[in-house]
Amino acid sequence: MCASMESRLFTVKDIDRFHLLQTVFRGGLWVGLDDMVTKGVYVWSDGQLFDGNTTDMFLPGEPNDYGRAEDCISMQPPKPYKLNDDACYKKFHSVCEKTM
């Protein structure tokens, strides 16, 4: 969806951006982080590697690649909304960002 608008999924590399999503959105929401190219190597939608500095933003025990089928990262309820790895085919809302 974001690519069709020449943009990418929103990244939550810092706590301020994370809190913005927590306060504005409700329900499942895709964020711009995945390990689709190499299992266990998470890459942000802008191409930067995930450095692990936001692990406190994840639900406990996540990411866990349950069933070896969870390659995309979503923000999940219940409160406090936290990050979770999930199957990429699921239907959640998306927030796109574009570099100007």
CB 15 within 8 A of CB 9: no
28-46 confidence digits (pLDDT tens): 899 999 999 999 999 999 9
2-12 confidence digits (pLDDT tens): 999 999 999 98
SS3 of 20, please? Answer: helix
User: Domain of 83: which CATH number?
Assistant: 3.10.100.10
**Domain total for the chain?**
1
**Domain around 62:** 3-97
